Amino acid sequence: MSSLELYNRVVGSLDQASMLYFFVGGATAIAIAAILYAIGRLRLLATGLGVLGVLSLMIGLVMIHQAKVVDRRDEFVTVRHWRFSELVRLEARAALLCLPTAVAFIMLQLFRTAQRRRRRTLPSHLKQGKVNFAHGDYDAAMSSYNEVLKIAPFLGDAYLQRGCAHEAKGECQAALVDYDQALRNDPHLAGAYLHRGRVRVELGDLDAAEEDFNHFMSMRPNDVDGYLNRGICLAKKGDAVNAAADFHRVLKLTNHSDFADPARLHLAELDAIEATRSHVTAPAALDSAPRPAGDDLS
State the average pLDDT for the chain: 81
20-29, 100-109, 153-162, 272-281 — most confident range: 153-162
d(CA 131, CA 125): 10
pTM: 0.63
Comparing 114-123, 233-242, 261-270, the range with the smallest average pLDDT is 114-123
pLDDT tens digits for range 245-256: 999 999 999 999
d(CA 7, CA 94): 22
Q: How confident is the model over 16-26, as a mean pLDDT? A: 74
| Alpha-carbon distances, residue 263 vs 188, 258, 277 (angstroms) | 27, 9, 21
Strand-pairing partners, residue 82, are 68
pLDDT tens digits for range 154-196: 999 999 999 999 999 999 999 999 999 999 999 999 999 999 9
Do 155 and 123 contact (CB within 8 A), yes or no? no
| pLDDT of 40 strictly over 70 | no
Comparing 33-42, 153-162, 174-183, 283-292, the range with the smallest average pLDDT is 283-292
| Alpha-carbon distances, residue 277 vs 98, 232, 238, 285 (angstroms) | 86, 20, 13, 12
| Alpha-carbon distances, residue 227 vs 189, 221, 257 (angstroms) | 18, 9, 15
Higher per-residue confidence, 212 vs 297: 212
d(CA 140, CA 162): 10
| pLDDT of 147 strictly over 50 | yes
| pLDDT of 10 strictly over 90 | no
Selection from 80, 79, 96 nearest residue 88 by Cα? 96
Higher per-residue confidence, 291 vs 207: 207
pLDDT band for 288, please (50, 70, 90 cuts): low
